[in-house]
Amino acid sequence: MDGQTSFPLGPSSLTEALYESVRKRIVNGEIAPGEKLTEVRIAGEYSVARPTAKACLERLTALGLLRRTTHKTAVVPKLNEEDIRDLYFSRETVERAAVAALARTATVPPAAVRAQAAMKAAAGDMAFASQVEADIAFHSALVAAVGSRRLSRMHEVILGEVHLTMGQFQAHRTTHPMNVVHEHDDILKAIGDGDPERAQQRLAHHLDQAQGRLLGRLRREESEEAPA
């Protein structure tokens, strides 16, 4: 909404840095689903005080990247089919509103274009983590470009879990990255043409594809585990 470009700098505070680091470890699958994360463990691994670790775990729990109930240790969740459907339903709700709003004014967010470029660059080599990163950045840019702080906040609430599923299932390995890039391009084109309907339809299709890949991967994993 404003032409103001912000330059986000690295985490300044300790808790922020800690939070970012643990978050990355979770979404990249470095910390496996089902794994337990106690406060003392985090505090020990990073040599910070327990309250700091506690705050970090609480923030991650709020974003759905950890599950925890009182007096029980936090664990990285393993999302099942219902979770994924729920997640993608919520995601579609927000992103639909975003692309529709953008298409109404035919504003193609530059950040999204940049993310597309990054994704193309990462498609060549096997940098899966970078691909995922760029994918997230693309969708994030779409929502951010609307200029609604609250819409972005809501998006953040679910984007962590989206990132989590991608990392866990490595769904990007089930299709060629360029397919995703093309789907993204379709969305941007519809936005640039000022066609809200088509933009929404393209977005829905893209998310449907992504969800399908995730569910397929999930079912395959389950059928591999069950007989064993």
Partner DNA sequence: CCAGTATACTTGTCTGACGATTCGGGGTGA
Partner DNA sequence: TCACCCCGAATCGTCAGACAAGTATACTGG
69 binds its own copies (CB under 8 A): no
Classify residue 170 by its DSSP letter.
Answer: T
The stretch near its own copies (CB under 8 A) out of 21-29, 151-159, 198-206, 218-226 is 151-159
Residue selected from 14, 17, 75, 151 as contacting its own copies according to rule CB under 8 A: 151
Min separation Cβ 139 and its own copies, Å: 15
CB 151 within 8 Å of CB 94: yes
CA 110, CA 115: separation in Å to the nearest integer?
A: 9
CA 182, CA 188: separation in Å to the nearest integer?
A: 10
Question: Which residue number, 94 or 115, has a Cβ lying nearer to its own copies?
Answer: 94
Cβ contacts of 96 within 8 Å, gap of 6 or more: 200, 203, 204
Which of its own copies, DNA, none lies near 129, with the C-beta cut-off 5 to 8 A by kind?
Answer: none
50 binds DNA (CB under 7 A): yes
Question: What's the farthest any 2 CA atoms get from each other in the chain?
Answer: 56
Which of its own copies, DNA, none lies near 210, with the C-beta cut-off 5 to 8 A by kind?
Answer: none
Dihedral of CA atoms 170, 176, 178, 183 in degrees, nearest 10, equals -70
Site string for DNA, 54-73 (x = CB under 7 A): x--x------------xxxx
14 binds its own copies (CB under 8 A): no
Q: Is 159 exposed, middle or buried (0-12, 13-18, 19+ CB in 10 A)?
A: buried
User: Beta 74-75 vs 36-37: how paired, if at all?
Assistant: antiparallel
4 binds DNA (CB under 7 A): no
List C-alpha distances in Å: 168 to 15, 71, 145, 151.
Answer: 25, 27, 28, 26
72 binds its own copies (CB under 8 A): no
Min separation Cβ 153 and DNA, Å: 19
Binding residues for its own copies (CB under 8 A):
12-13, 51, 55, 58, 62, 64, 70, 86-87, 89-90, 93-94, 96-97, 148-151, 153-154, 157-158, 161
Which residues lie near DNA (CB under 7 A)?
A: 13-16, 36-40, 48-52, 54, 57, 70-74
